[in-house]
Amino acid sequence: MTRVNIGLTLMVGMVLSVMIWKHPPSAWTAMQAFGMCSMIAGFVLWTTARVQLGKSFTVSAQAKQLVTGGLYSRIRNPVYVFGSCVIVGLILVLGRPIFLLIFLVVIPLQIWRARKESSVLEAAFGEEYRKYRAVTWF
């Protein structure tokens, strides 16, 4: 497990601990309970996607290897999708749905970055990537 994954695991654990300590689950609203489920599921799936990406993970768009197994067999960008689930879950757990407006900025940035990565992968892997893209979502 990388340092980033360990750090994020600790962060999510701390948020969960504080939420449970300050507001026991019996006092949660439906929105907070849904947010917690979204945050936990998103984090587990984000971590899975990150592990499956392995050494192909980079901060900038690079074509090291075309990863098409696991979560990547259905979703081209599961790190973005499930990272968004974690953020939405955290916003709902904190009880600040107005912060969902953040996604008016985040979503277009993620789409832009996914397109940039897509063009890099298409240039490197050509027809293999186009076939993969045809059978996967986002």
In the predicted model, residues of the chain with pLDDT beneath 70 are: 1-5, 19, 23, 57-61
- pLDDT in the model for residue 2: 63
| C-alpha pair distances (Å), 133 with each of 27, 69, 79, 89, 138 | 44, 13, 16, 28, 8
- pLDDT in the model for residue 72: 96
Instruction: State the burial class of residue 42 (Cβ atoms within 10 Å of its Cβ: 0-12, 13-18, 19+).
Output: buried
- pLDDT in the model for residue 93: 84
pTM: 0.81
- pLDDT in the model for residue 112: 93
